[in-house]
Amino acid sequence: MYKNNNRIMLFFIYLIAILSVGCKSTQVQPLAKKQLSPLESAKKDYLDSYKEFNKHFANFKGELEQALPENVDKKNIDKINSVFYRTEFDVVRINGVYKITDIYISHFYEKGSQYTNSRKGMDIYKSDSRFLLRLPPNSFNYKRREDVLLLKHKTQVMQDVTPQMLAFKKDLLAHADKLLEIANDIQKVKDSYNYAYDNLYDIYKKNSAEWIIDWSSKPLIKVDFSASSYMTVLAEEIQSELKTLQAKNIKHVDDYSKRKMIIDELNEMNYLVWVKGKSQPGQFKKGDNVCDAHNKMGFIEDANGNKLKVLWVAKVEDEKPLFWFGNIGYDNINLNGELNSFKYAYTTINEIRWLTSNSVGQCSFDI
């Protein structure tokens, strides 16, 4: 009996030992943290700084609206972005720290938008001391190859200039009423341009007709970095440009509208002349000016019933058929002449043909 008990006890000891070994927990070793490459690390730091940089300026429009009285119409306030997005800052590295030193402001053109900045970008690989920064700062960008040096500098720029930009933004908000006034002027320029004639300025340029001052050739306006200097330029120079543009747009859009209406009326009248000539043959006499569907111009030398002897002297080039009978285009408007004048290119010819009277129509040309 004693031996059996010993055997049983040994069995249990043996079983417990086996189970202890078999059920021993396996310790999970944590994965080694992946080491970022220098480029990846620099890019991560840049993106983190960029996110932090953005949050200070992401709602600038909302802050402007809050700075204005509640009873003021603010619907055009976002038009001030036409100014902000073309404002640039010179960021210079001084004693290892980046600081904003100057502001550059570009000019407007007839559609109510500012000219694209004409300055050349700074090359970080020639000098690491200078950057361009746009307003709002969340449009900060530098399109060059991405490398550790560049990313580190971009990160430092954002970190260093943030206090300056926050102070600048605070001072700008104190001028919210003037910024709204300028935004309203920008909208007036857009309205005065009249996008129904979206190629109007190109038409005037093609005709060498004066419209606006060529502000695209003027240098950007440079001022010291301060909100007061910036607002002085906007109020005294930019706002003046906007008012000049508005007046010129109104004048030239009105002028073009009148000329366009005259061309429409002329085409309608000339088309009826062509139709009448088809339905009422025998109306011509010697000496009449006539044109045909192929845009030839000439004179009747003899008329005998429905038979006409025509001397063709010229032909309109590069225009649609029936130019003289309903197809004078708006591109033919002579912006430098009288309201009812139009222009066309032609070549001279010298042909005599006998034609039927329904193949020509009376026209008025000047060659």
Contact by Cβ (8 Å): 110, 230: no
Token duo for residue 7: 């055997």
Neighbours of 233 (CB within 10 A): 17
Q: Residues 290, 197: one domain?
A: no
Per-residue pLDDT tens over the stretch 155-209:
888 899 999 999 999 999 999 999 999 999 999 998 988 776 777 777 777 776 6
Q: Give the pLDDT score at 30.
A: 63
Q: Give the pLDDT score at 218.
A: 73
Give domain status of residue 154, yes or no. Answer: yes
How far apart are alpha carbons 273 and 314 in whole angstroms?
20
Q: Residues 47, 195: one domain?
A: yes
User: Rounded to two decimals, what is the model's pTM?
Assistant: 0.71
Give domain status of residue 182, yes or no. Answer: yes
Give domain status of residue 32, yes or no. Answer: no
Q: Residues 58, 143: one domain?
A: yes
Q: Residues 199, 321: one domain?
A: no
Whether 91 shows a pLDDT value over 60: the answer reads yes
Given 212, 242, 257, which residue is the final one in a domain? 257
Q: Residues 223, 358: one domain?
A: no
Q: Residues 204, 58: one domain?
A: yes
How far apart are alpha carbons 275 and 225 in whole angstroms?
70
Q: Which of helix, strand or coil describes residue 304?
A: strand
Per-residue pLDDT tens over the stretch 279-293:
776 688 899 999 999
Whether 131 shows a pLDDT value over 80: the answer reads no
Q: Residues 249, 345: one domain?
A: no
Q: Give the pLDDT score at 347.
A: 96
**Mean pLDDT, rounded, for 37-44:** 88
Contact by Cβ (8 Å): 243, 213: no
Q: Cα Rg for the chain, rounded, in angstroms?
A: 39
Contact by Cβ (8 Å): 99, 92: yes
Give domain status of residue 1, yes or no. Answer: no
Calculate ∠ Cα 195-198-200, nearest 5°. Answer: 115
**Mean pLDDT, rounded, for 304-333:** 93
Percent of the chain predicted with pLDDT > 90: 40
Q: Which of helix, strand or coil describes residue 338?
A: coil
Q: Residues 196, 290: one domain?
A: no
Contact by Cβ (8 Å): 316, 344: yes
**Mean pLDDT, rounded, for 80-106:** 86
Considering its fold, how many domains does the chain have in total? 2
Q: Domain range holding 309?
A: 280-362
Q: Residues 182, 301: one domain?
A: no
Give domain status of residue 269, yes or no. Answer: no
How far apart are alpha carbons 216 and 236 in whole angstroms?
18
Token duo for residue 149: 């040096």
Average pLDDT, the chain: 82
Give domain status of residue 189, yes or no. Answer: yes
Q: Residues 298, 188: one domain?
A: no
Percent of the chain predicted with pLDDT > 70: 78
Give domain status of residue 303, yes or no. Answer: yes
Q: Residues 232, 314: one domain?
A: no
Between 200-204, 258-262, 349-353, the lowest mean confidence (pLDDT) is in 200-204
